[in-house]
Structure 1
Amino acid sequence: MSQKEIVVQGATCQCKYGTAPDKLKVLTQEKHYVNDMDGGQKLIASHVDIGMTFEKNTFGQCKLQPNGGGYNPCVPALTEWKEQYKDMVLINSGQVLVEDSKGVCSISGSPCISITKTGQKGQPSQQNVDNADEDQQSQINPLVNMKELNKQSFYEFLNAE
């Protein structure tokens, strides 16, 4: 896998023939999460997440479907994913999608849907604060006093007004 990010629910996808991005929805499993402290938002996407598996189910206008005044609306129907990570299989028998996986749409018949953002984002925890090097952090962000941050709850600090 060599340092590739796993794709999760909410990943931003773009069709090279469409005019707008859409976000991936994981509909095939509800057990495997990643980079999600509470295990409730970042379901891992797999190659069995096909069909109508996007939030809006459109990539805007489809350049492969011209009409008299422009293009018909895109209605993606994903037939398969390519370049998934085959060494990790989820409970739904799906192989995990990674950042360079490509989706095949029934209209184009080729891998034209790419992942522009995997849907993962860093979520700091108290453990991150406890393990942070105070000298290094004071140089990176001189406005935060790490000694004070370690004395109070990290979540209190994040929610302070």
Structure 2
Amino acid sequence: MKIKIIENGINLEKLATDLKLDGGANYLLQHHNTFSEKENCVNTTEESLPIGTVVFVPEEPLYKIEPKPRTVEVKEAIAFIDYKEQREEEPDSTQNKSEHEGKYFVIQKRLCQCDKGFNYPQFKVTSHQKHYWNDENGAADYLAVTEEDLQLIPSSAPFGQCKLRPTSGGYLACVYAPAGKWQKPYEKTKVMGKSCLTEISELMCTTGGKITIKKHGQVSELGLNNIRNANVIEQQLINPFLDFEEFLEQVDEDNENHYN
């Protein structure tokens, strides 16, 4: 790491600006206090530093403004719409950019919501029993939801009460009545001829409510590449009680033993 000796009584706010540190003064404060002796720690970024104070500064270029982006590959852990290859092959493809880009597909175990309701029911896939998003065991929870999957769990008053059915005693129960298929499915991915839903898909109820996706259900999982690409100093600041370099060595050792 680098050090900076204060010569004119400035604070960390000004120092971070002068050094153009990514993360700003708050990050510089955390970094300095992590590596400094207790009596030399700084309380706030606005505190004027005495002349001669030694400040611990993160190494360049890792924390320089506009650092080179690092690509982390997690496509194997989640299913979503990725146009990277298309953009490389077709420089002008931005004109054909889909609103589904970067959105996740929806699985059966997750939830939807109605802007006129109160509860969040779960999907019930009835259009097929064939395709699962990211589950090699074929668990029903991971069935892909398609435009024709209109049934919900629970089936009776799935959204609880309906704001469009007020009475003097409160709102009446939801009367779920879908107006046709789901709208805005991703038409380039189909299961048995039925387009799959993504986070932006929606469905209208004949009562007047608009039903959208509350949670798509897929969860990212850290892979070995994610751990190896992590920055040691950043991880040490996040969890100062963990020796991250030792942790990396242990992960590599366990991985090597797994394949031997």
* Partner amino acid, structure 2, of 1:77: A
Matching residue of 1:48: 148
What amino acid does structure 2 have at the position aligned with 1:84?
P
TM-score between the two structures when normalised by the length of structure 2: 0.50
Match of 1:118 in 2: 216
Shift of 1:140: 5.0
Q: Distance in 2 between matches of 1:72 and 1:135?
A: 54
How far, CA to CA, are the matches of 2:215 and 2:173 in structure 1? Answer: 23
Tell me, which stretches of 5 or more residues in structure 1 are unaligned? Answer: 157-161
Match among 106, 109, 112 for residue 10 of structure 1: 109
Paired residues, number: 145
* Local SS of the residue matching 2:251: helix
Question: Whole-Å Cα distance in 2 between the matches of residues 117 and 135 of structure 1?
Answer: 29
Of the three residues 90, 104, 111, the one matched with 2:204 is 104
8 Å Cα contact 1:14/1:116 also seen in 2: yes
- Residue 129 (structure 2) pairs with residue 30 (structure 1): yes
User: Which residue number corresponds to residue 230 of structure 2?
Assistant: 136
More helix by share: 2
User: What is the identity, as a one-letter code, of the residue corresponding to 1:149?
Assistant: V
Query: Runs of 5+ in structure 2 lacking a partner?
Result: 1-99, 237-241
Larger strand percent: 1
**Amino acid across the alignment from 1:97:** L
Q: TM-score, normalised by structure 1?
A: 0.77
Partner of 1:20: 119
| 2:192 matches 1:85 | no
Q: CA deviation at 1:136?
A: 2.0
| Deviation for aligned residue 1:31 | 1.2
144-153 vs 17-26, which moves further: 144-153
Q: CA deviation at 1:74?
A: 1.1
Instruction: Give 1:151 deviation, angstroms.
Output: 2.6
Deviating more after overlay: 135-144 vs 6-15? 135-144
